[in-house]
Amino acid sequence: MNIDAFILIGGRSSRFGSDKAFVEFGGQILASRIAATVEEAFPGIRTTFVAASEDQFGIKTDGLKWRVIFDLKKGFGAWSGLDAALSNSTAEWTLVLACDLPFVTAEFLKQVYESTHGGIDAVVPRQIDGRLQPLCAVYRTAVVRPVVDEMMSSEVVPSLSSIFQRVRTAVFDADAGVLRNVNTPEDLA
């Protein structure tokens, strides 16, 4: 298995009101919960958290047992996280996950990775509402990295899902609820 995992914890959490990566859900903070799910799916995988900057969380990241890296190009939102992940990946495939997807299972992540066959450069699930979920996807590192560079340097940076129009992508439908995320305290409840 030639895959590195990167979990994005660097969002602003503006709708939530506090750093949702460190909110408890089911007895674990969201960041640790998704990291444990990744390691259940892929024992021995190199798992790394991606935060916006060193001062975003202060001392909170010291309690994480996983490595934490920071955005290389700040100010691009999820693009910055994807960029940092691909820049730091040493594997053929890079799994990128948002920390606020507490219902993602190890079986689901295995299904995503098992779709990386043939000439595919990315695998992305489609949510029940029809939208693609680029923050629960697998990317062929060497192919997608230059595309991200190009798109981030354009005058108007497009939506993150637009990357799938530029690379050979496998799309599959996710079961209802697995990609439900936590954006507000009401979502958490």
What dotted CATH number matches 3-188? 3.90.550.10
Give the per-residue pLDDT at 17.
41
Is the pLDDT reported for residue 16 higher than 50? no
DSSP per residue, 29-72? EHHHHHHHHHHHHSTT-EEEEEES-TTTTGGGGGG-SSEEEE-S
Is the pLDDT reported for residue 7 higher than 80? yes
Highest mean pLDDT: which of 1-5, 88-92, 127-131, 150-154?
88-92
Per domain, the residue ranges of the chain are 3-188
pLDDT category at 30 given cuts 50, 70, 90 is confident
Average of per-residue pLDDT across 154-158: 83
- The tens digit of pLDDT for each residue in 111-120 reads 999 888 889 9
